[in-house]
Amino acid sequence: MSIIGISHLTFVVHDLDRSARLLVEGLGAREVYDSGADVHSLSPWKVFVADGV
């Protein structure tokens, strides 16, 4: 078996806004979704694309 790609990674963090800044400003990721006030899980969440992943 060999890995041919990555679908997604999930990080559970204490400070979502600070982590988002790191991903965008530090790693060049692009935010594509923010759950905001919508309740989909126990916590708010964001989705980013970095280098096509």
Total domains present in the chain: 1
Q: What is the pLDDT of residue 38?
A: 81
Q: What is the pLDDT of residue 20?
A: 97
**3 state SS of 12:** coil
Query: Can you give the residue range of the structural domain that contains 38?
Result: 1-53
Place of tokens 């594509």: 32
Do 46 and 34 form a contact (C-beta atoms < 8 A)? yes
Instruction: Round the average pLDDT of the chain to a whole number and report it.
Output: 90
Gyration radius from the chain CA atoms: 13
pLDDT of 51 strictly over 90: no
Q: What is the pLDDT of residue 18?
A: 97
Mean per-residue pLDDT for 16-39? 93
pLDDT of 14 strictly over 90: yes
